[in-house]
Amino acid sequence: MQDRRFKVLLIIEQCNPEWASVPLVGYRYYEGISQLADTTLVTHDRNQSALQKAHPDREVVYIAESNLIRQYYKLAERLSKIKGKTIWPLYNTLSFPVYDEFNRQVYQKFRDRLSLSGEI
């Protein structure tokens, strides 16, 4: 009987072994799940350099943000700071369009390959 591993599509927008906090936590999840299943990671293209250094042979799909969202993100960062300190609830609220675009791009790219029945 052949050992069959699950195929898992991991969507981790912030996944970077060289950064602290959320990106590092995302990377640790990716590492752990990759040991248990055949994974395809989908992440933001800002993580590409670090992930290619750490795992040049793994299947990773990088999603780039549009120029409009890139400009919007810079504005959202500025608006959510007072005296150099980030107001996190405001920052998170203003960041919604950034994550929404990422999620929409992931859906567009993978919608034909995904199946709710578990067969890809």
| pLDDT 10s digits, 25-52 | 999 999 999 999 999 999 999 999 999 9
Determine the pLDDT at residue 113: 79
Euclidean distance between CA atoms 41 and 105, whole angstroms: 14
Determine the pLDDT at residue 1: 47
CA–CA distance from 77 to each of 12, 89, 92, 96 (Å)?
Answer: 21, 12, 10, 12
Euclidean distance between CA atoms 88 and 119, whole angstroms: 40
